[in-house]
Amino acid sequence: MPWGSGNARPGERVHDGDGPGWPSRCWRARQPGRSGGAHVAERPTIGIFGAGKVGTALARLLVDAGYEVALAGSPRQTALELLVSVVAPGARVTDADRLAADSDVIVVAVPFGKAPTVPWESFDGKVVVDATNYWPPVDGHIPEIDADERTTSEIHAALNPAARVVKSLNHLGYHDMEDDPMPPGSPLRRAIAVVGDDADAREAVARIIDDLGFDPVDGGALGNGRALEPGHPAFGRELSARELARLLEAERAVAA
Ligand SMILES: NC(=O)c1ccc[n+]([C@@H]2O[C@H](COP(=O)([O-])OP(=O)(O)OC[C@H]3O[C@@H](n4cnc5c(N)ncnc54)[C@H](OP(=O)(O)O)[C@@H]3O)[C@@H](O)[C@H]2O)c1
């Protein structure tokens, strides 16, 4: 469901502007999930694993939105500080251990096959946004993944059950995210879905998405993330909050 397409913050009761027939909503009442993890700061420090196309685009957007942002790159990347000072000024470069320790919210933006190389064991209690996609044209076919019935983010979440994993920021291209931010209430504002089993983690990520210039849509449990994966309906499509929410509901109905 849309968290709101006006000025409301996630968690507030909102009206999505479609006339009296569309009820006000309270996301918490409609999309339950476990909570009880540590409170996430209103302006969390955000750490991004992966200083590639998505990681640096998100860093630029987040710095512009006033967040403190740090990036950790691949061990193969040299002169990363110079690169980041040019492509994402205002973001810091740090190492993987410090990124995990110092960040309230962690974004995993590395190639799918490299996701197990980030230090999941350090993510206890952290909100972790899995922005990765398993995309065989890029990643090649990975037989264990092809044979696994879980969504790819459920597979990643199993790497550390104490991490509060959310799938989001994966289903729009980095250029779309950079080109299309809009203020709350803009009729053409695009939507980005948030799925995850921890309701507070979803809400924290939804606030960030709103600050980036997109309408967050609560997709409920992590297992609902299939619709956001490559080859599935939401992937790569620029949708309004209403369209994305309907699409996620339709996918859930098919899966049920
Ligand atoms: N491109 C898009 O528009 C888009 C949009 C949404 C989501 N995504 C997803 O986001 C992920 C990243 O995509 P991308 O296009 O940004 O890829 P990319 O340009 O190749 O950047 C990924 C970066 O992560 C680095 N990396 C690998 N292992 C790492 C580790 N353990 N710690 C830190 N950095 C590490 C890679 O370095 P090496 O080259 O040395 O491995 C590379 O520099 C993918 O899963 C993709 O499907 C992409």
Query: How would you label 220-238 residue by residue, b for 16+ Cβ within 10 Å and e otherwise?
Result: bbbbbbbbbbbeebbbeee
- 76 in contact with ligand 1, CB cutoff 6 A: yes
> What distance in Å separates the CA atoms of residue 32 and residue 195, rounded to the nearest whole number?
11
Q: Measure 254 CA to ligand 1 centroid, in angstroms.
A: 31
**Model confidence, pTM:** 0.90
Domain 43-255: CATH architecture, name and number where available: 3-Layer(aba) Sandwich (3.40)
- 235 in contact with ligand 1, CB cutoff 6 A: no
Q: Where are the domains of the chain?
A: 43-255
Do 168 and 195 contact (CB within 8 A), yes or no? yes
Instruction: List, for residues 50-91, the tens digit of each pLDDT value.
Output: 999 999 999 999 999 999 999 999 988 989 999 999 999 999
- 110 in contact with ligand 1, CB cutoff 6 A: yes
Q: Measure 18 CA to ligand 1 centroid, in angstroms.
A: 38
**pLDDT of 205 strictly over 70:** yes
Do 91 and 70 contact (CB within 8 A), yes or no? yes
- 118 in contact with ligand 1, CB cutoff 6 A: yes
Least confident of 22-26, 141-145, 249-253: 22-26
Mean pLDDT within 5-14 = 42
pLDDT value at residue 139: 94
- 2 in contact with ligand 1, CB cutoff 6 A: no
